[in-house]
Amino acid sequence: MVSRKGWAALGVAFGLSACGGMGKSAEERIGDAMPPGSEVLAAKARLDALGRQQGVDLRTIETEYQARLTNRVVDCAHGYRPSMFSSSERIRTALTDKDCFTRTDAALHDWIMYRRIGALLSAPPLRPLPKTTPAMIVAADRIQGATFAERAGVAVFELSRRFQVVDIASRATISEGETDGSPPVSVSPNGRLFVAGQGSDAQVRDAATGEALATFTGVRPYQFHWVHDTGAIFWPRRPAEDGGRTRMEPVYLDFTSGRETRIPMTGMEVDRVVPVPGQAARFAVFLNNRVGTVQLRQAAQGWDAQLLSESVLSTNGWDRGAALTADGRTFFGTRESLQLVSLDAMLSRTVTLKPLRLVAAVATPDPDQVLVRGFFEGAPDMGYEDYVYSIGQRTLAKVERDRQQSGWIIYIPALQRNAVVDGSRIALLERLPVALAADVDPYLEQRAQELADMVKARRNVMLGATQQAPN
């Protein structure tokens, strides 16, 4: 028989064993028994630290985080409610759908990382633009790919299975790391994030640390496009559901809320997304042979995208080097000819420069001029030639390249300069070395004849050498 003191001791012990659940809801007690995984908790801690560093009010994020934790329990407990005296061990045993918690933890981790990406997108430039344009930018190894931030002094280089993030002004390395050999394809305007390939997937990395923040499975890296310092537009990994049917559409992902909006355009891939000049938060989305005008709008739940119009273009797809003229008013690319789209009126036209067959086009500091590269039909063995084409004057000026320069020419919008990438160096050009401009048609006819004569002379020399060779 238990004495009065014994009953009192048992009561105290029993109360202590149950006090952990006193005052808490069933959802909170289930959450305590099945807390989020260590990756989720670590990601949340880093998000909080970033928010404090940027002076962000964290209350809104914390409120949504707690709401997601509650929904996680409600979804995965499937109606189970523990008794007031159930221990954490007993609660864990009673929860039969452990896989649900694993799935929701993965989704919660993605949401946290999206919010972290959103915080970085809205931050000031990682490095300021240089006060004076440097003569040279030098990488740690041979440059295989280079991309530059639009409003920051940041460059990202793809070297031999490595990336290197560089401060343009000081030439100092900001971060570096290993890659699978895929070149970086885009840098956020403020230089704080960049996209590179992880196999066939797009991976977003923190430029300051090199840390991988999010991987978008099934999204090709070159189909991921930063927009509006809030999110990205890309071709998704899964189709949209429409009354039992599925269709593929691009999506806008708002990183400030984690909210996705489908953009009801049809196509095969997102070639480019560029701002419409003079229109706040309005973008032109290019898909194969069509362009859509998309307006971003801020609502209580976050930003979303609305398709305003869609039109068919005369071109059939765009090369990956398609870009904007220096004033941002003309989008251009090549498909053997030069394809131009006026963003003010969304009108397209094709400029044929035959017999010069184009393989690439690059912007210049002059919005009327585009650097084009191509070879002449009938003389492909004579190599590529570079020209500056005037859109308004319809003239060509041959680029007279130094024989010692074997690299390729790029345009760096943030510096408003063309540059030559050669080995591990990028040489900034004050101006392109060009000959006098000439009217397109007579020049092309003359140059084609010159090359034809050179090809004929070369063949005659080879034929003569063959005939003189001993049997």
Residue 106 lies in a domain: yes
* pLDDT value, residue 9: 40
Asked whether the predicted pLDDT for residue 122 surpasses 60, the reply is yes
| Mode of pairing for the β-strands spanning 201-206 and 193-198 | antiparallel
Residue 21 lies in a domain: yes
Residue 68 lies in a domain: yes
Angle formed by the axes of helices 38-53 and 98-121, nearest 10° = 20
Element (DSSP H or E) covering residue 407: none
pLDDT-derived band at 470, boundaries 50, 70, 90: low
* pLDDT value, residue 19: 47
Mean pLDDT of the chain: 88
Please give the span between the terminal C-alpha atoms of the chain, in angstroms, as a whole number.
122
Residue 382 lies in a domain: no
Closest among 362, 302, 355, 293 to 332, alpha carbons compared? 362
Asked if 281 and 236 count as a contact pair (C-beta separation under 8 A), the reply is no
Residue 83 lies in a domain: yes
Element (DSSP H or E) covering residue 87: none
* pLDDT value, residue 2: 47
Residue 23 lies in a domain: yes
Asked whether the predicted pLDDT for residue 221 surpasses 80, the reply is yes
DSSP strand E in 39-192: where?
Answer: 136-138, 145-148, 154-158, 162-167, 173-178, 186-187
Over residues 6-15, the mean pLDDT reads 41
Asked if 200 and 220 count as a contact pair (C-beta separation under 8 A), the reply is yes
Residue 9 lies in a domain: no
For 73, the domain range is 14-121
* pLDDT value, residue 227: 96
3-state secondary structure of 125: coil
* pLDDT value, residue 17: 39
The model carries a pTM of 0.86
Cα separation, 442 vs 450, whole angstroms: 12
Asked if 324 and 333 count as a contact pair (C-beta separation under 8 A), the reply is no
Residue 45 lies in a domain: yes
Asked if 225 and 292 count as a contact pair (C-beta separation under 8 A), the reply is no
Asked whether the predicted pLDDT for residue 408 surpasses 70, the reply is yes
Residue 448: half-sphere exposure toward Cβ, Cα within 13 Å: 15
Query: Which pair of structure tokens corresponds to residue 123?
Result: 């931050």
Asked if 252 and 261 count as a contact pair (C-beta separation under 8 A), the reply is yes
Closest among 162, 226, 155 to 191, alpha carbons compared? 155
Q: How many CB atoms lie within 10 A of CB 11?
A: 10
Q: How many CB atoms lie within 10 A of CB 459?
A: 10
Asked if 154 and 187 count as a contact pair (C-beta separation under 8 A), the reply is yes
Query: Which pair of structure tokens corresponds to residue 8?
Result: 């009192």
CA atoms 64, 233, 125, 147: torsion sign: positive
Q: Which residues contact 426 (CB under 8 A, 6 or more apart)?
A: 136, 137, 138, 139, 143, 146, 155, 410, 419, 420
Asked if 422 and 406 count as a contact pair (C-beta separation under 8 A), the reply is yes
- The 10s digit of each residue's pLDDT in 261-277 is 999 997 778 999 999 99
- The 10s digit of each residue's pLDDT in 225-265 is 999 999 999 988 766 555 555 568 999 999 999 899 999 99
Question: Based on the structure, what is the number of domains in the chain?
Answer: 1
Over residues 127-135, the mean pLDDT reads 94
Cα separation, 130 vs 116, whole angstroms: 27
* pLDDT value, residue 178: 87
Asked whether the predicted pLDDT for residue 125 surpasses 50, the reply is yes
- The 10s digit of each residue's pLDDT in 67-103 is 999 999 999 999 999 988 899 999 999 999 999 999 9
* pLDDT value, residue 240: 56
Q: Is pLDDT larger for residue 244 or for residue 285?
A: 285
3-state secondary structure of 194: strand
* pLDDT value, residue 113: 95
Backbone torsions φ then ψ of 237, nearest 5 degrees: -90, -10
Helix then strand then coil, in percent of the chain rounded to 5, is 25, 35, 40
Cα separation, 78 vs 87, whole angstroms: 19
Asked if 407 and 423 count as a contact pair (C-beta separation under 8 A), the reply is yes
